[in-house]
């Protein structure tokens, strides 16, 4: 049986579902000769981990992991340190980041360790760069699927795996164009059906598709840095309240969006809010795409990625599916962990 | 540098493009610390291989592989033994199958060997079962991506990789539905646009999308065994000549197809010729699919596969792209070979 130590940062929506999936898959993984050994779980304020003496063999037990999931589902804003029952484990409420680095460094020198970041925090970047000890990178890189490129794009969609396959076969990627924000995908396909922009944004908000302030989605910042915002600067979060934006700001944008849709339609195109990457450029914004392309025909909140390469030159390789959802995203993270199994010895 | 010995059976369209890709990727693979060492190439009548004494180190040289490609492109029906120039190699014109098994057995015990089947022949199945020595299966299975499931579906599309990811993450596949015949995909989407079935089949034939006798596609045998044929028994190849089928048989089918399309349309559906796999059943035939599903919206000869699972339950994970073409298929085969790299030692 091959044992893979795992330390999980973040037990909100995705992290919690990841723990659930790990529990559900116990027997499946055992059949494959694998056991995921969860040595620690942390949230923003605390870390629960096995004691230093037991680091090489112990794990947080399954009933305790279940209890963590239950607790975080019912009291999302309470820290793990408020848990009533505890395992044979240690709880760190200060210096938890230091402790994560220490555990990673200890296990990194012996069994190896998968550190999973399921937070939405920029703070963990500092932890991650310290965790990935420069000594281990050459070792990691000698394997096909290695930690550093095994991250997630489009929730659980097999984007990175598929790109790796294309590159490994010597095919040459010319361009990628994708709608990787479920929210903006929904908005753009609904306005194409003739509904006013303002009504669609409010609808998306009431369906729970948007962030509490929908401008967080409309600014495009969720997708990349070089972006075209769907609202002008003067309606930005610092300058206009959320109520004013929803009430009087948003409807002012309807006419402009409608005109752009009509102009595109004359050219047989529809508008989509996409991310485009070519050899020489990368951008995010509204783009006309052919009405009958996979992107043009996409509906609802699905993510769509089109990859054009030497092999897929006229018609792209298309990968499409739910690009959000804790369950799906967590399943993708688990698949990434399992992909790393060859790095660990039995 | 890790050296991966390769023996190629079949150097028609796909096999030839595979050799080309291997040559083109030499420096890319070198950067990844890999070298593909082609120890033998065979067609239906002959095998060209390095000599037994050199089996552990030698390879067919790149200029010679280029010459093989050139020769097979210009004289597809001539056997490799008609080649004018030869490398330091041996040519077998009889017992070439025996020789393939012998080489595989020798290398299987030492360096390992990737045997690639790019023929359309049933004869090679016998060779492959003998080549995969039962002793080696447990060893192979201890790796993530192992030979036996690293085959091709939908030409180069990342179908198997994506399925492996889904299964590894404990997600549960409920149903797969796909249009995996480019020819039938084209036919079904064109008839949905109102053209007569007979005209579309003839069009597909003239575009080179079909086999010389289009009934080879229309019978569905290319897709699976349990199939619904698009023509009745009495128009079968044994009972009606190709001319009669194209001339008088085919138009008799137009009305029936038209009626089925209309009936589907009343239910908001379109007809597609699909393969469906669920927990309990597997079948191939004409199926109504929602007009606005990925399958329903597919156009032209693209392959489309929809995977429904616990995670992808309302909207499926969709993989779509060119499902044929020597170049694309060969790129997929090469990606499969590279996927096996962890099985070989440096
Ligand atoms: N949900 C999706 O559909 C989806 C899809 C694709 C990608 N993602 C990405 O996945 C990530 C997680 O999403 P989510 O929905 O699970 O977020 P979430 O529900 O807000 O959970 C975030 C978790 O991270 C913890 N955390 C925050 N800062 C931390 C720190 N410095 N150190 C350790 N833990 C910290 C939080 O702790 P507290 O519990 O103490 O607040 C919380 O448990 C995000 O980056 C998101 O963009 C999500
Ligand atoms: N082309 C595509 O787009 C595509 C897509 C998906 C899958 N495929 C599959 O890929 C396979 C190859 O397709 P293709 O288009 O390359 O076919 P092809 O052009 O007909 O080439 C077949 C090759 O196999 C050789 N061969 C036949 N019997 C053999 C035997 N018993 N031992 C060794 N070699 C033998 C042939 O030798 P000779 O040269 O002596 O005739 C020829 O070189 C087929 O199974 C096809 O269904 C093709």
- Cβ B335–A300 below 8 Å, yes or no? no
Phi-psi region at A68: left, alpha or beta (left = phi > 0; alpha = psi -120 to 50): alpha
Q: Are residues A271 and A335 in the same domain?
A: no
Give the residue from A162, A317, A170 showing the smallest Cα distance to B20.
Answer: A170
Active site residue B226: yes
Task: State the average pLDDT over residues B84-103.
Answer: 89
Q: Give the Å distance between the CA of B101 and the centre of ligand 1.
A: 54
A341 against B82, higher pLDDT: B82
Which residue ranges in chain A fall short of pLDDT 70? 133-155, 220-227
Q: Which tokens sit at B32?
A: 């990844």
What per-residue confidence (pLDDT) applies to A222?
58
Q: Does the beta carbon of B282 lie under 8 angstroms from any beta carbon of chain A? A: no
What per-residue confidence (pLDDT) applies to B144?
39
In a domain, B108, yes or no: yes
In degrees, to the nearest 5, what angle opens at C-alpha A105 toward C-alphas A100 and A109? 145
Alpha-carbon gap, residue A89 to A92, rounded angstroms = 10
Q: Give the Å distance between the CA of A119 and the centre of ligand 1.
A: 3
Q: How far is CA A227 from the centre of its chain?
A: 19
Q: Are residues B133 and B219 in the same domain?
A: no
Pick the atom of ligand 1 nearest to A80's CA: 40
In a domain, A120, yes or no: yes
List C-alpha distances in Å: A238 to A210, A215, A233, A241, A250: 19, 11, 9, 8, 16
List C-alpha distances in Å: A232 to A202, B193, B269: 18, 42, 41
pLDDT digits (tens, 9 = 90+) for A52-77: 999 999 999 999 999 999 999 999 88
Long-range contacts, A213-216 (Cβ 8 Å, 24+) = A213/A237, A213/A242, A214/A183, A214/A246, A215/A242, A215/A245
pLDDT digits (tens, 9 = 90+) for B257-307: 899 999 999 999 998 888 898 888 888 888 899 988 889 888 777 889 999
Alpha-carbon gap, residue A37 to A2, rounded angstroms = 10
Q: How many helices (H) and strands (E) does chain B have?
A: 14, 10
Task: State the average pLDDT over residues B209-222.
Answer: 77
What per-residue confidence (pLDDT) applies to B185?
84
Alpha-carbon gap, residue A249 to A201, rounded angstroms = 12
Q: Does the beta carbon of B316 lie under 8 angstroms from any beta carbon of chain A? A: yes
Task: State the average pLDDT over residues B313-328.
Answer: 85
How many Cβ atoms from other residues are within 10 Å of residue A331's Cβ?
A: 27
How many Cβ atoms from other residues are within 10 Å of residue A128's Cβ?
A: 15
How many Cβ atoms from other residues are within 10 Å of residue A154's Cβ?
A: 26
- Which residue, chain included where needed, has tokens 């490609």? B69
Residue nearest (by alpha carbon) to ligand 1 atom 28: A44
Q: In Å, how far is B123's CA from the nearest CA of chain A?
A: 27
- Cβ B339–A168 below 8 Å, yes or no? yes
CB A89 within 8 A of CB A51: yes
Residue span of the structural domain in which B215 resides: 173-322
Q: In Å, how far is B202's CA from the nearest CA of chain A?
A: 23
Q: Which tokens sit at A164?
A: 């790796």
What per-residue confidence (pLDDT) applies to B138?
52
The total of structural domains in chain A comes to: 2
What per-residue confidence (pLDDT) applies to B335?
86
Instruction: Select the residue of B21, B297, B321 nearest A317 (Cβ to Cβ).
Output: B321
| Sheet (strand A173-179) strand order | A282-290, A269-278, A173-179, A302-309, A317-322, B317-322, B302-309, B173-179, B269-278, B282-290
Phi-psi region at B129: left, alpha or beta (left = phi > 0; alpha = psi -120 to 50): alpha
3-state secondary structure of B212: coil
Q: Which tokens sit at A138?
A: 């050459």
What per-residue confidence (pLDDT) applies to B222?
58
Q: Are residues A177 and A317 in the same domain?
A: yes
Q: Are residues B186 and B149 in the same domain?
A: no
Which amino acids of A are annotated catalytic? 226
Instruction: Select the residue of B161, B318, B327 nearest A321 (Cβ to Cβ).
Output: B318
| Sheet (strand A90-92) strand order | A90-92, A47-49, A34-42, A2-9, A114-117
Q: Are residues B143 and B194 in the same domain?
A: no
Q: Are residues B130 and B221 in the same domain?
A: no
In degrees, to the nearest 5, what angle opens at C-alpha B292 toward C-alphas B291 and B296? 55
In a domain, A280, yes or no: yes
- Cβ B321–A325 below 8 Å, yes or no? no
Read off the CATH number of the domain in which B283 is found. Answer: 3.30.360.10
Alpha-carbon gap, residue A340 to A5, rounded angstroms = 11
In a domain, A232, yes or no: yes
Q: Are residues A62 and A126 in the same domain?
A: yes
Alpha-carbon gap, residue B312 to B274, rounded angstroms = 19
What per-residue confidence (pLDDT) applies to B54?
93
- Cβ A316–B312 below 8 Å, yes or no? no
In a domain, A163, yes or no: no
Alpha-carbon gap, residue A208 to A188, rounded angstroms = 16
Q: Does the beta carbon of B161 lie under 8 angstroms from any beta carbon of chain A? A: yes
In degrees, to the nearest 5, what angle opens at C-alpha B16 toward C-alphas B72 and A319? 150
Q: Tell me the β-bridge partners of B145.
A: none
**Residue B11, C-beta contacts closer than 8 angstroms, at least 6 positions apart:** B19, B41, B42, B43, B68, B69, B72, B80, B118
Instruction: Select the residue of B24, B25, B316 nearest A321 (Cβ to Cβ).
Output: B316
Q: Are residues B14 and B134 in the same domain?
A: yes
Q: Are residues A119 and A186 in the same domain?
A: no
Q: Tell me the β-bridge partners of A5.
A: A37
- DSSP classification of residue A150: -
In a domain, A165, yes or no: no
In a domain, A194, yes or no: yes
Sign of dihedral through CA atoms A325, A329, A330, A331? Answer: positive
Alpha-carbon gap, residue A148 to A128, rounded angstroms = 11
Which residues in chain A have Cβ-Cβ distances shorter than 8 Å to B168?
334-335, 338-339
Instruction: Select the residue of A162, A165, A331 nearest B171 (Cβ to Cβ).
Output: A331
Give the residue from A6, A19, A84, A3 showing the smallest Cα distance to A330.
Answer: A19
DSSP-based helix, strand, coil % in chain A, nearest 5:
45, 20, 35
Residue nearest (by alpha carbon) to ligand 1 atom 35: A44
Q: How far is CA A145 from the centre of its chain?
A: 18
What per-residue confidence (pLDDT) applies to B148?
38
What per-residue confidence (pLDDT) applies to B135?
58
Read off the CATH number of the domain in which A76 is found. Answer: 3.40.50.720
Alpha-carbon gap, residue A263 to B230, rounded angstroms = 43
- Which residue, chain included where needed, has tokens 């070298």? B35
Q: How far is CA A77 from the centre of its chain?
A: 21
- Cβ B168–A325 below 8 Å, yes or no? no
In a domain, A168, yes or no: no
Residue in chain A lying closest to B33 (CA): A142
A37 against B140, higher pLDDT: A37
- B2, B84, B205, B226: the active-site residue: B226
Q: Are residues A113 and A197 in the same domain?
A: no
Q: Are residues A189 and A138 in the same domain?
A: no
- Cβ B302–A315 below 8 Å, yes or no? yes
Residues in chain B: 346
pTM confidence score: 0.78
Q: Which tokens sit at A253?
A: 């944008």
- Cβ B25–A170 below 8 Å, yes or no? yes
Sign of dihedral through CA atoms B215, B218, B223, B225? Answer: negative
How many Cβ atoms from other residues are within 10 Å of residue A345's Cβ?
A: 8
Q: Does the beta carbon of B183 lie under 8 angstroms from any beta carbon of chain A? A: no
Q: Are residues B335 and B277 in the same domain?
A: no
Ligand 1: residues with CB < 6 A are A 9-15, 42-45, 79, 118-121, 123-124, 155, 324-326, 329
Q: Residue B209: is its pLDDT beyond 80?
A: no
Best mutation target, A138, A161, A170, A336, to test chain B (most B CBs within 10 A): A170
3-state secondary structure of B91: strand
Residue B4 host element (H or E): strand B2-9
Residue-averaged pLDDT of chain B: 85
What per-residue confidence (pLDDT) applies to B150?
40
């Amino acid at each position: 049986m091959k044992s893979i130590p795992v330390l999980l940062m973040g037990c909100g929506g995705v992290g919690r579902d990841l723990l659930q999936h790990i529990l559900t898959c116990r027997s499946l993984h055992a059949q494959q000769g694998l056991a995921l050994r969860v040595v620690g779980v942390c949230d923003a304020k605390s870390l629960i981990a096995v004691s230093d003496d037991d680091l090489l063999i112990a794990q947080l037990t399954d009933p305790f992991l279940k209890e963590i999931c239950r607790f975080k589902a019912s009291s999302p804003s309470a820290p793990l340190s408020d848990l009533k029952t505890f395992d044979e484990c240690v709880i760190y409420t200060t210096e938890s980041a230091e402790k994560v680095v220490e555990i990673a460094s200890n296990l990194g020198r012996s069994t190896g360790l998968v550190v999973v970041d399921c937070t939405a925090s920029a703070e963990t970047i500092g932890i991650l760069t310290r965790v990935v000890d420069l000594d281990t990178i050459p070792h990691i890189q000698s394997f096909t699927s290695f930690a550093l490129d095994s991250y997630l794009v489009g929730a659980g969609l097999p984007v990175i795996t598929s790109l790796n396959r294309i590159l490994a076969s010597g095919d040459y990627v010319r361009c990628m164009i994708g709608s990787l924000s479920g929210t903006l995908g929904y908005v753009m396909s609904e306005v194409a059906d003739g509904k006013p922009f303002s009504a669609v944004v409010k609808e998306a908000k009431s369906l729970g598709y948007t962030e509490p302030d929908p401008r967080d989605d409309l600014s495009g910042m969720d997708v990349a840095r070089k972006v075209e915002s769907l609202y002008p600067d003067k309606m930005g979060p610092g300058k206009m309240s959320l109520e004013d934006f929803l009430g009087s700001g948003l409807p002012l944008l309807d006419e402009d969006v409608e005109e752009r849709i009509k102009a595109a339609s004359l050219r047989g195109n529809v508008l989509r809010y996409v991310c485009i990457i070519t050899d020489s450029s990368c951008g995010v914004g509204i783009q006309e795409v052919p009405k009958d392309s996979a992107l043009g025909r996409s509906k609802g909140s699905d993510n769509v990625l089109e990859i054009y390469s030497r092999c897929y030159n006229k018609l792209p390789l298309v990968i499409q599916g739910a690009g959000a959802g804790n369950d799906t995203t967590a399943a993708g993270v688990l698949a990434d962990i399992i992909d790393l199994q060859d790095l660990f010895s039995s």
